[in-house]
Each structure stands twice: as C-alpha cells, then as structure tokens.
C-alpha cells in the first residue's frame, strides 16, 4: 500500500519521502499467490462495490505501470472455478448467478459475454462439469461447479518490483532506505528511527503492515484492545508446467493460482497464533496434499518454494485508512489482510485525499476512526 501511495503522490507532483525499513519494496508481501477474487455477488453493499471497482480498475493501473517501466506484473483476468461437492451448494450458487448479473457490471465499456451494449458484464455460471479436463478432478464435482469470469491474478513479487522500479526514477519522491521507524511524534510532526535519527513531516501516511498498529496506538488515547494483529500465512509454489491461462481454483480455503511461467501457487493458512512467523510446517504439507487431490496432475510435480509471512488484520477486519481523530496530520493506510493487492491502489488514493483535506470516498467501516472506536469498546 505504501508503494502505491508513493506512486500516486508522484503522479500528483507531491513532494514525498518514502521511508523504508529495509530495501525498497521489502516491506510489501513477497508472497506467492496473487489471487484477486471478488466477494460473493449477493447481499450487495458499499464494501463489495468498493472492492468491485478496485478489482476492475486494477487492470488499467497495472497496464499503465507495465507501460511506464517495461516490466511485467504477471496480471491476467483468468477467472475462477469453485467446485460444488454437495447438492445444496448448487442451489446457493444458482442464486448468485442472478446477483452477479445485477452487480458485476461496468457501464461505459464494450459489451462482454452478452448484456446491454456499452456495458461490461462478468458472469457467475453454474456448470455440470469443468471446461478444463482435470482442473479440478471430477470427483469434487458432485453438484457441478461455478465459473466466475471476474476473478484475476497478479504476481505479488513482479508487481512490487515494478512499483519499486517506477519509484526509483521518480521526480517528486525521495527514498530513504534502511530507516526503520521506531516512534511517531504526531504532536511535533516527527518520526524517529531505530538508528537514532529523526525526520520532520507536515503529513505522514503510516503504511507499515502489522507494525502500523502499535505505531499508531503509541500516540493515541489508551484503547481497550489492539488496533490489529499479524496473521501468519503459509504458501507453496509447484513447478507444474500448467497452462497459464487456466482459471484460479478455490475450495474451502484452498487457492490454486496458475502463473505466467506455468508454476502453480497454492495456499494459504490463516494463523492467529504461531511461534515463528517465517517458518513452514505440517499445515502447509496438508495444503499441498489437498491440492494434489484436487488436481491429480500435480501429484508428481516438485515443490520449488515454501513461503511464510505475516499479513495485517485490523480489529474490524476491513482495511484501515484515514486521518487520526486527534492528530489529522497522521493518516493510516493499512489492514487489508487478504484483499490488499486488489484494493491497495484505491486505498492509496483515499489516503492522499485525506492528506489534501478532502473526503476519502471509502466505506465508513474502513476509516481509522471506526477501527479506533471498535478498539475502544
């Protein structure tokens, strides 16, 4: 999120210092999945609309970054398959078909998959069998499967590298690497660094993953609960040689994501309690076995990387963005948990609107004020 905020600040011509605890981009997720999956199309609300708009606009944002840097971000609107192993799930899925036809539309674009002229429409189709042999295995399709044409994927590492490359050539953004922030003095308008130095600011966007929570808590009125917590995730990469055009697979918390080079990423766990944030264990082994059962063609392919990392989960689960209620010169930009890569660019826009003293245009539950209110209960 911090990289996107700096990119958006560069576009606006805003004089900015991007402070990075390590090397540029190291604070962002170096994960493997990159699944960009929309919320279910039923029970539509402002949060689902915000995510829909974000996932839609990310396609153009990535294209612009790629054109500017000459680097691929590994983006593709691949779609998604969701197996329906039980009959009652098909009844529920069939209802979502109508919901998608109403809500998964973008006016003003060329016609896609039928629908009105001038409307881009994405589908949620319930099928009897997979259009792709063995993806997934037919034994999981007792009641068929869903084919969603809206989901996409991106390479987290390639996108991060492209954003960092753009910023290294920026005119308005200075980069301060190896400067870990230890404290924010909001009243004085200064950040203090672990190595002993400090830097003044007129506005400060705090986008430090799970480390943002204690940084903000430290200059806030006492809260009854933490603003958020780190959640560990584990994932793996299989040297599968699969068709990169295959859709994502999702079943009961297991994601399979084919990437441009034919590798398949799988994950992920969600662990609130853990001893080592960067180790992998039997929980990942179980996911690998589940993946090989879901797609038997993966049974003989090697695991070429095992990964573990921490994701920031705000107390009210939603992303956390906006000015501090008592120190408007400090703006939060974080949370996001599992949806960060899909919405970060729009949240960065919102944070910069707050810097400029404008309304952010995000759901009220996303605001830092809301999260602090929840933490005070």
| Mean pLDDT (whole number) for 205-223 | 97
Question: Edge-to-edge strand order for the sheet containing 190-193?
Answer: 181-185, 190-193, 198-200
Domains, the chain, with CATH or none: 2-33+157-227+316-375 (3.50.50.60), 230-314 (3.30.9.10)
Q: Which residue has the tokens 């398959």?
A: 81
Q: For the chain, first and last CA: distance in Å?
A: 28
Answer whether residue 116 shows pLDDT above 80.
Answer: no
pLDDT computed for residue 326 by the predictor = 98
Those residues whose C-beta lies under 8 Å from the C-beta of residue 98, and which sit 6 or more positions away, are none
Residue 109's pLDDT band, with cuts at 50, 70 and 90, is very low
Rounded CA separation 204/187 (Å): 12
Burial environment of residue 332 by CB neighbours within 10 A (0 to 12, 13 to 18, 19 or more): buried
pTM attached to this predicted model: 0.94
pLDDT of residue 131: 97
């Amino acid at each position: 999120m911090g990289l996107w905020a700096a990119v958006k600040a560069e576009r606006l011509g805003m004089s900015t210092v991007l402070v990075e605890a390590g090397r540029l981009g190291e604070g962002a997720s170096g994960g493997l999945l990159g699944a960009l999956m929309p919320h279910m199309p039923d029970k539509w609300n402002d949060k689902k609309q915000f995510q829909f708009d974000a996932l839609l606009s990310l396609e153009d944002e990535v294209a612009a970054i790629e054109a500017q840097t000459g680097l691929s971000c590994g983006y593709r609107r691949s779609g998604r398959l969701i197996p329906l192993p039980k009959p009652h799930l098909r009844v529920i899925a069939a209802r979502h078909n109508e919901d998608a036809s109403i809500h998964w539309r973008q006016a003003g674009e060329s016609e896609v998959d039928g629908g009105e002229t001038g409307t881009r429409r994405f589908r949620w189709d319930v099928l009897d069998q997979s259009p792709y042999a063995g993806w997934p295995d037919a034994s999981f399709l007792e009641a068929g499967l869903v084919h969603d044409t809206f989901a996409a994927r991106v390479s987290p590492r390639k996108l991060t590298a492209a954003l960092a490359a753009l910023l290294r050539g920026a005119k308005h953004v200075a980069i301060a690497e190896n400067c870990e922030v230890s404290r924010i003095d909001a009243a004085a308008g200064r950040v203090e660094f672990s190595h002993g130095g400090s830097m003044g600011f007129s506005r400060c966007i705090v986008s430090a993953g799970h480390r943002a929570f204690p940084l903000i808590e430290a200059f806030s009125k006492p809260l009854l609960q933490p603003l958020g917590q780190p959640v560990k995730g584990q994932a793996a990469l299989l040297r599968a040689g699969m068709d990169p055009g295959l859709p994502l697979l999702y079943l009961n918390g297991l994601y399979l994501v084919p990437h441009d080079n034919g590798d398949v990423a799988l994950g992920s766990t969600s662990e609130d309690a853990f001893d080592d944030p960067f180790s992998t264990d039997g929980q990942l082994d179980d996911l690998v076995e589940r993946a090989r059962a879901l797609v038997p063609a993966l049974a003989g392919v090697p695991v070429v990387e095992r990964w573990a990392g921490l994701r920031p989960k705000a107390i009210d689960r939603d992303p956390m963005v906006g000015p501090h209620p008592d120190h408007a010169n400090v703006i939060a930009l974080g949370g996001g948990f599992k949806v960060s890569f899909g919405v970060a660019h729009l949240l960065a826009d919102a944070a910069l609107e707050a810097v400029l003293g404008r309304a952010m245009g995000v759901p009220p539950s996303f605001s830092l004020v809301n999260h602090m209110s929840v933490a005070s209960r």
